[in-house]
Structures are given as structure tokens and as C-alpha cells.
Structure 1
């Protein structure tokens, strides 16, 4: 089980912040490793906290200084207000649709469909989006933030990818590629923390003391692998487009489709 925990921790950490859908990868990896069922779902929710912590750790100075300066620093107030504004659409829609999504949409067919369509959408954005006009997170308006938040709400559909939806949505609104990506990272903190906390509370009965070593290993591996990927990802997008991720999504979506059919 430790081996399975390590593999799934790597899968979560590597895919969570890339525009490729961690959900699709965890579904396939869990099936291949024969790690499914309620306990597996709870494990997958738990290791997402490791990925969240990686972003908090990497951007800790900006996050804690902004929190410390609430009410006294205009730039920090604006930054936090933008994050909160972007968080609201997915939070509101998610609360209304959570049970329906979990019951009817978490299956290989819908995930593979979302991966393929999302890949095509990324290719379209890269080809047709206008030149960026926003090159700094501090230059975002509330309108930008709300628009990105609406894009994030699309990721409630399994397989869309939260990172992919927010980054592409931000680019459509005029954000430069790296700025869009970093805002996506910051937005992931309240969004993923709220979602995972809600899911963990609903599945707390599946947690057993004997499972803690396995959960802890997955958590740590997810945290460490996410840090490595985030650093590499920021370096990659400084020199490349997202087209390679789009092609990967389409191919991976087809693999999932044929695997389960």
C-alpha cells in the first residue's frame, strides 16, 4: 500500500497545477493500481491538501504579508479582494451542484470527454486570443477576477482541469501567460482548501487510524512533487505555449476512453 500511496501522491502533485486534469489521472492510476472504493476516494481528497500546502509554501511571503497588511495596504487589500471575488462563483455553484456532480459526472466517459474538449479549447485560445495587456497580478481589476472565477466554475465538471480553466480564462481576459498562471496558483488555495475540507468532512467516517501512515506518505509525496512541478512549470511557460498540454489532453482523453470501453 505504501507503494500505491507514493505513486498516487506523485500523480496528484504532478497534475494538480498543470492544465491536464488531476481527476482523470487519479481515476486511471487508481484503477490500474486496484485502489478504488470509499477509502481510495478519501485518500485522494486528503493528498490534495499536500498539493495546496505546496503553493502556500512557495508563495508564503506574498500570502502572509498580504494577510498582515489587510486594512493598511491598498495593494494587499486589492489582491485579497480579487482572490475572494474569483473564488465566489465556483464556491456558490459548487455548493448547489456538488452532490449531482459526484453522483453522475465522476466517471471515465465524462472525464475523457472533458479532457478532449478542453484540449481543443486550449489550442483555440492559443491561436485566437489577443495579445496580453495585463502583465502583473496587481493590475487585475475586479472584473478580471470575477471573469476568471466564472472560468474556474467550469472546472466543476470533472476532467476540465481547474488550472486549465482559470489560466485559459485569464488569458482570454488579457492576462499574460505567466501572470495568468500565478493567479491560478493563488486562487487554488481557497478553492481547493474549501473543496477538500468539505469532502473530507463528508467522508470522515472512512478515515481509520491504521490508514494514517499511508495517508501521510501520500500527503508528503504530493507536497514535494507539486513544488518541483510548479517551479518547472513556471520556467516552461516563460518560453513555450500551452499547445503541448492541449495535445497531451486529447491523447490522454482518448486513452481513458478506449481503456474503459
Structure 2
């Protein structure tokens, strides 16, 4: 990796983490286009910068994280499915993360769903996190697990999951943001531990790794700060249809590039 390979994916991550378009899917495709090999550090980098973006939620919604203990209980319940399936399916997930074609089909399928989701769930009666039950938190957590397939979108899956439980678009989006904090914090700590426990590197390698992780996280954090509020406003006013159209077009383009011998095919 070089500094361009750090900054460009970090910008993409900050822009897409909270949109229902799959930040992981965009990172997989961007890495393929830029010729970034999928070694263990790249996989770690893509997880760590997601945490950098998600920490923007803590800053923007700082007071919400001190509302009550009940808030944290709901988050813990909501991440239980991801913890279980993440441990059980880690090796298979790592394989999927190397395939732009998997991303493409997930883009298209998810895009079709987003075209209709506003019509399917148009009678919400929950507009605040404090009204979400523990059972609802668990159900949303299971929806979030769908995003283990790259291209599905963690935020998209959990937002749709929330709307299916009668949350408003805003409440579902915000709870999706909150749920991402413990999910990505745990994933980052585990990946950092695994990488450096089994790694055999020099002091110079370690210094460069830390520099790249810090720069990437900082860039993703700043970009995400700018993206979150804009997304909430757009979602309340316009809904999901435009995101669905974007996903379908992007998926079709990736499939065409893959089967016409583009560099995507070599990843």
C-alpha cells in the first residue's frame, strides 16, 4: 500500500458507511480497480477505517450515549447475532470479501429491495430509540448479519430491519448507526489482535502500519462527520428509491467489467 491507497479508500468509506450502498462492497471494487492486493493488512485496514467512520456517530450523537443504561442493553442485544455468526462464518466471509462479482450481485438484489421498501413499511409507529424493545433490537441484529455478504450493506440491512419492525426511517437509520459502534469496535479489536499476534514484522513495518491505520481512520472519520447528517435529511425527504437505482446500475456495471476481462476479474 501507499498513501494514495490509504486516502482514497478512507474517503470512500466515510462517504458510504452510513448509506445503504455497502461501504465494504465499494472498498472491494475500489481495491480491485486500484490494484490493491488483498493481503492480511489490507483486510485489517478496511475494518479499522470502518471504525474510524463509525466513531463519527459517537461525536454527533454524544448525548444519546449517556441517555440510560437501557440504551446499552439494547445495543448489546443487537450485536449478539453478529458476534455469533461472525465467529462461525469468518473464513467464508474472508473468501467472499475477495470477490467483486459477489458484490455486484448483492448490489443488484439489494437495489431491487430498496426500490420498494418505502412502500412495504409505510406505517411506522416508533420514532425514537427509547421506544425500541429488547426483542426488536435482537431482530434488527439478525438483519444486520445479512451484511456479512459484501455488497449487502450493514446500514441498509439494519435500517430495513428496523423499518420492518415499524421504526420510522429516521429512527431506523439512527439505531443502525448506534448498533454499528459496538459491532465495529469488537470486530476491529479482534482483527487487530489476530493480525499482530500472528504477524512477524520489523519495527519499521509496524510503524508504517500504524501510520496508515491512523491516517485512514482520521480521513474516514472527518468525511463521515459531513455525510451522516446529510444522509438523515435526504432519507427523511426522499426515501430509498434513488439508492436502489444507484445500486442496480453499479451492480450491472461491475458485472459487465468483470465479464469483459477488466482488471476486476483478476481479484
**2:52 maps to which residue?**
50
TM-fit CA distance, 1:41: 2.2
2:238 is paired with a residue whose SS is: coil
Number of positions where the alignment pairs a residue of Structure 1 with one of Structure 2: 251
Give a deviation string over 1:147-178, Cα, whole Å, max 9, x none.
11111111111211100000011111100000
Give the alignment's TM-score, normalised by structure 1: 0.90
1:256 aligned to 237, 240, 254, which one?
254
Deviation by residue 1:198-243 (Cα, 9 ceiling, x = unmatched): 2222223276312433332211110100110001111211211111
1:60 aligned to which of 46, 58, 62: 62
1:14-29 matched pairs, under 5 angstroms: 14-29=15-30
Do structure 1's residue 88 and structure 2's residue 80 form an aligned pair?
Answer: yes
Structure 2 unaligned regions, length at least 5: 260-267
RMSD: 1.7
Give the deviation of 1:10 after TM superposition. 0.3
- Which deviates more from structure 2 when the two are superposed, residues 120-129 or residues 178-187? 120-129
Distance 2:208 2:113 in 1: 44
Given that 1:45 and 1:200 are in contact with CA atoms closer than 8 Å, whether structure 2 keeps it comes out as no
- Give the secondary-structure state (helix, strand or coil) at the position aligned to 2:36: coil
1:1-261 pair list within 5 angstroms: 1-38=2-39, 39-63=41-65, 65-66=66-67, 76-104=68-96, 106-204=98-196, 205=199, 208-261=206-259
Q: Within 2, Cα distance between the matches of 1:6 and 1:105?
A: 20
User: Does the 8 A contact of 1:12 with 1:47 survive in 2?
Assistant: yes
Aligned-pair distance for 1:196? 2.1
| Aligned counterpart, 1:73 | none
Query: Following TM superposition, by how much is the alpha carbon of 1:27 offset from its aligned partner in structure 2, in angstroms?
Result: 1.2
Report the Cα offset of residue 45 of structure 1.
2.1
Hey, what's the Cα distance between the residues in 2 that align with 1:14 and 1:47?
A: 12
Given the two structures, how large is their TM-score scaled by the length of structure 2?
0.88
Unaligned 5+ runs, structure 1? 67-75
2:103–2:151 CA contact under 8 A, matched in 1:
yes
Secondary structure at the counterpart of residue 208 of structure 1: helix
What secondary structure, in the 3-state scheme, does the structure 1 residue paired with 2:105 have?
A: helix
For residues 233 and 124 of structure 1, the distance between their equivalents in structure 2, rounded to whole angstroms, comes to: 19
Q: Give the drift of 1:104.
A: 4.6
- For residues 17 and 98 of structure 1, the distance between their equivalents in structure 2, rounded to whole angstroms, comes to 23
Specify whether residues 104 and 7 from structure 1 end up closer, same or farther in structure 2 by C-alpha distance, changes over 3 A only.
closer
CA distance in 2, matches of 1:101, 1:240: 33
Contact map agreement 1:47 1:218 (CA 8 A) in 2: yes
